A and B are shown apart, each in its own frame.
Chain A
Amino acid sequence: MKTKKLKFSTVYLWIVTLITYLPILLVVIFSFNDSKLTVSWKGFTWRWYQELFRDAALMEALGNSLLLGGLSCLFAAVIGTLGAIGMARVHFKSKGMMEYLSTLPIMVPEIILAMVFMAFFSLIGLPFGMVTLVIAHTAFCIPYVFMMVKARLVGIDKSLEEAARDLGATPNRAFLDITLPLIMPAVVSGCILAFAMSFDDVVISLFVTGSTLSTLPIKVYTQLKTGVTPKINALCTIILMVIIVVMFVWSFLRKEMDQSKNKPKK
């Protein structure tokens, strides 16, 4: 089956992939560079990692980002999952419009969402800080959970819930025992995606955060504009490692989902 001849497609895929990874690798490599400048290699060091953990401001920003991501994820998970479940079963006239509106935050450019929130929060007199950040982030986290769960609900076998009903389960019981476990992977995977988006967001955070509160991306962004220290490289490397671990968990979940999706068909 396998031809030893190197195919053009393989070469193409690998070249593009390598170029994609080049900038990321550079960030990682320079996190171990024994020089303040990210220009040339001066030898190996752990120093930036040590300094990173001693940097109280960066650590605080990291804490803020984790809290923000966690809270928005939690709210988005509840609102998005309930919404997707409900939407699949109700027949309101406003349903289509509402679905469009609730997914709007990931359709419009970030800068517009940022300005909309900033203007609105100052209108209702909400003080800028964690509360405004959480509301704004929840808004763009909901669509990820909502769409994932919605797709999953379409994909699962209706006969399973019907079978439970036929065997005498109440609708609530059938839902809790059959449907909910089946959509759980979608909820988790939507949450992971939402968390990643929240953890990465610069534009919206920049506008709705107060003058005192800073998230990690805001810190990195301002440093990139003014002047970076390799501490940022060290931080980026750690984040990258976390992402790769999360990715493994996610792809595992996807596999589980695909398997349970395919089983009834075969």
Chain B
Amino acid sequence: MSKPSVGTKKRDFWWMCVVPLYLFTLAFILGPMIYMVAVSFATNNPSGYGFQWIFTLENYLRIQDPTYLQCFRQSFELAFSTTALTILIGYPYGYYMGRLSPKGKKLMMFLVMVPFWTSSLIRLYGWLILLQAKGVLNGLLQALGLIEDPIKMLYTYPAVLVGMVYALMPFMILAVYSSVEKMDWSLVEAARDLGASPVKAFWTVTFPLTLPGLLSGVILTFVPSMGLFFIADLLGGNKIVLVGSLIQDQLTRGSNWPFAAALAVLLMAMMTLMIVVYRKVTHVSELEGRL
């Protein structure tokens, strides 16, 4: 880095600063992670609690069972739909927010952040009140005469989807907003001056420039949506079993830790792959943005 050479003399002091971080990370993150990978190759004790240190691949082979594959498929489907919907709603939101006056930006930022910081449970609870059979939404629709009998809204797939989109929307909005904020608008003006229509200017200039933001928004929504099992749990009853709920179930009721560990390792491998791909892609588009 551009540090003056005088500073490096005192390196021994700065070295001490990172010690707590190194120790904590090694002891409580790397250690446990390695342990989990090891457990995923251990043999489960069929007679009950615990497992034995006998190497086996059975835990991974067991995932091929159609029931579990279905679970992975469902998780991916839900994560995809969630991400698609957050883009559809969140991108325009972040974009419009980035075009507001500084005062407007500040206000909207505040309005976006309050729900984001509000306990996810409080917000889920709000949806429970809204969607339940004798809930507010059904009451409203009945009062308006649009429906006669209450519609079953809670404990359905759409309810889970709504809950997920709602919980993850702020990530998308903030990611898009930050890239719109940083954008050089003179480029759009230049395109317009050269005769591009607003739509064309958007797709050829604005959109590619905000793509890194959009992609980080995608990662920020896609990755958590694979693991947010309690939304599916509360809003979907027990009909929608996601990988997260499956892991939880194996840990508690199933008490099959090696299998739960194998599921977790597989899920993590998939996530890491996605993050690596994302890093590659954004790196490229960031370079493009600079050119």
Contacts and interface: CB of A to CB of B under 8 A. Distances in A.
Given A22-B130, A115-B251, A200 B121 contact: yes
Interface of A: 9-10, 12-13, 16-17, 20-27, 30, 37-40, 78-80, 82-83, 85-87, 89-90, 92, 98, 101-102, 104-105, 107-112, 115-120, 123, 135, 138-139, 142, 146, 158, 162, 165, 171-172, 196, 199-200, 202-203, 207, 217, 220-221, 224-225, 228, 232-233, 236, 239-240, 243-244, 246-247, 251
B61 interface: no
A9 B125 contact: no
A223 B267 CA distance: 29
B41 interface: no
A71 to B, nearest CB: 14
B257 A112 contact: no
Interface string B1-36: 011101100110111111111101100111111011
Interface string B71-93: 00000000000000000010011
A16 B7 CA distance: 51
Contact of B39 (A39, A87, A119, A243): A119
Contacts, number: 233
Nearest to B20: A79
A24 B110 contact: no
B19 to A, nearest CB: 8
B261 A119 contact: yes
Contacts of A108: 223, 227, 268, 271
Contacts of B47: none
Given A86-B16, A112-B247, A202-B121, A13 B97 contact: yes
16 contacts: A16-B93, A17-B108, A22-B130, A26-B136, A40-B139, A82-B17, A90-B15, A90-B17, A90-B18, A109-B244, A110-B227, A119-B257, A196-B117, A200-B121, A224-B128, A236-B119
The 10 closest A-B pairs by CB, nearest first: A109-B227, A23-B126, A86-B17, A83-B21, A86-B18, A120-B32, A9-B96, A89-B14, A236-B122, A111-B244
A103 B29 CA distance: 10
A119 to B, nearest CB: 6
Contacts of B68: none
B127 interface: yes
A153 to B, nearest CB: 11
B11 A86 contact: no
Q: How many B residues touch the partner, as a band?
A: 35 or more
A107 B32 CA distance: 16
A119 B35 contact: yes
Given A89-B3, A116-B36, A16 B230 contact: no
Interface string B225-236: 011111001100
A203 B230 contact: yes
Given A123-B35, A172-B13, A101 B29 contact: yes
A83 B17 CA distance: 6
Contact of A139 (B28, B120, B264): B28
Interface secondary structure of A, over-half rule: helix
Given A87-B18, A224-B234, A138 B24 contact: yes
Nearest to A239: B119
B24 to A, nearest CB: 6
Contact of B10 (A23, A171, A220): A171
Interface centre among A12, A21, A78, A79 (most CB of B within 10 A): A79
Contacts of B25: 98, 101-102
Contact of A82 (B3, B21, B121): B21
A224 B114 contact: no
Contacts of B13: 171-172
Nearest to B95: A9
B111 interface: yes
A89 B7 contact: yes
Contacts of B139: 39-40
B126 A27 contact: yes
A232 B260 contact: no
B129 A38 contact: yes
Contacts of B22: 98
Nearest to A174: B7
A22 B126 contact: yes
B256 to A, nearest CB: 12
Nearest to A79: B20
B129 A23 contact: yes
A79 B6 contact: no
A143 B153 CA distance: 38
Given A12-B93, A20-B169, A85 B17 contact: yes
Contacts of B33: 104, 116
Given A90-B15, A111-B248, A115-B36, A220 B30 contact: no
B76 to A, nearest CB: 13
B208 interface: no
